[in-house]
Structure 1
């Protein structure tokens, strides 16, 4: 009678580490997309284009919304991976994360800045 194959602790740890590294790679890709949205939103405001002012505003709003949605996704993903690695004691040390209110405050400041730009654009367009 064959004995069941039991994976070694080392292979289980390697498998778990591979899973987390894959998740971190996906987050890295999301960060690249975030930077692209940030760049395109600023480009839509700063570069002269063949678009109408309303089209440029809409493009800015779309990219800004995508940026903030992506930022939230990346933030949650990084926290999740950090927590999972801490729980598995893979980091060998405890990572002290910033208080959650810091990220929330920065997000609110970014949204307020974007809304301020939009209000200015709308006011300039109403002249």
Structure 2
């Protein structure tokens, strides 16, 4: 019985190690209305280089995973990256955590609400103070 307990404890330890995410990993998941089949992009810097990631929106959802040792400013967008007046562009602070984006539509990202980023929460508090 003692050997079985030790074996079970070892199996739990291995499974836990396999399911943990690296301490510097970010996971950004989001929902968006009316954009299935379109591509959404995420641009951020890491180690003095620009990283661009993309994914196709399916069933109104998208997800990005990457590495961010510290909070970094990023942009996610659809369409032409050079169109600075585009309404399908929003800024975000990425950090090592699980973050969620809501409030997006295929035509407008101005209602974007990001949760799960302490830095982004501080930005929201600062913006509220300014108003």
- TM-score, normalising length from structure 1? 0.29
- 1 or 2, which has the higher strand percentage? 2
Higher helix share: 1
